[in-house]
Amino acid sequence: MKLTAPQIEHLFTFTRQHYVEWYDLQSELVDHLANAIETQWQENPKLSFDEALNIEFKKFGVFGFMDVVEKRQAVLRKKYNGLVWEHIKGFFGIPKIVLTITMTLVLFSILKVSIYSGWIFMGLYLILMVFSFYKIFKNRKKKQLKAQTKEKIWLFEEIINQYGSIAGIIVLPFNIFNQLIDQTDNFFGNVYWVLGLSFFSVVFFILVFIIFKIIPAKTEEYLLATYPEYKLEKL
């Protein structure tokens, strides 16, 4: 005996009710539950749909689908981190390494000769913060709009667009350098300190650019590679 279309739709509703909001994970779970229920019916045709569903759901344990969700998130975060690393490596290969070195030397020259070096550094820091929080805000609005229009949400897409954690990464290292500047006599008079600060700033700007611009611009490409069915949703 096969599940009917309304029963399949009920399984999607069931997964959403148990805190699985991503369509790709819903599809995997629905496929698993449907096959398991049909197997149960082969062994015991008298079971009702709800009874078979409850039996199968209990097999997931007291935490329900939580373990499945966490494992899938871990896999996709690892995939995402791999994408970030691949783009970072791209900036440290010729000719982009030449651009990175050139940007470092330009910033170094400005910080070394300017009497406003501290203000320039703080200005760069503020630009980075404003840009990052703008992207965070924009992403949240996009997610809210999807929820309002009931558009399908994909887990990998959400991981790509999760910018909240980057805010802390941005604040910490710049705060460390800011404290060094305050506590070190004539910080900008030391060639090595300024060179290190220049290189760090350029690399960090590149990292933020990759995370906020390059990878999100390729989101659809990555989703198509991860979920072939994503293409059907865009037709």
Interval 167-187 mean pLDDT: 69
Same domain for 110 and 179, yes or no, is: yes
Same domain for 147 and 58, yes or no, is: no
Name every residue whose Cβ is closer than 8 Å to that of residue 68 and which is 6 or more positions away in sequence: 25, 28, 29, 60
On the question of pLDDT at 62 being above 90, the answer is no
Same domain for 36 and 118, yes or no, is: no
Same domain for 55 and 93, yes or no, is: no
Same domain for 118 and 146, yes or no, is: yes
What band does 53 get if pLDDT is binned at 50, 70 and 90?
very high
On the question of pLDDT at 230 being above 60, the answer is yes
Same domain for 159 and 80, yes or no, is: yes
Same domain for 58 and 138, yes or no, is: no
Give the Cα separation of 182 and 92 in Å (integer).
31
Q: What is the pLDDT of residues 95-139, one digit of tens each?
A: 778 888 899 999 999 988 888 888 888 888 888 878 877 877 887
Q: Residue 126 is part of which domain span?
A: 70-234
Query: Domain ends where: 44, 64, 84?
Result: 64
**Burial of 26 (C-beta count, 10 Å sphere; 0-12/13-18/19+):** buried
Q: What is the pTM of this model?
A: 0.66
Same domain for 58 and 82, yes or no, is: no
Same domain for 31 and 91, yes or no, is: no
Same domain for 57 and 77, yes or no, is: no
Over 77-88, what HEC string results?
HHHHHHHHHHHH
Query: Domain ends where: 17, 43, 64?
Result: 64
On the question of pLDDT at 183 being above 80, the answer is no
Same domain for 31 and 79, yes or no, is: no
For residue 200, give the amino acid letter: F
Same domain for 78 and 59, yes or no, is: no
Structural domain count of the chain: 2
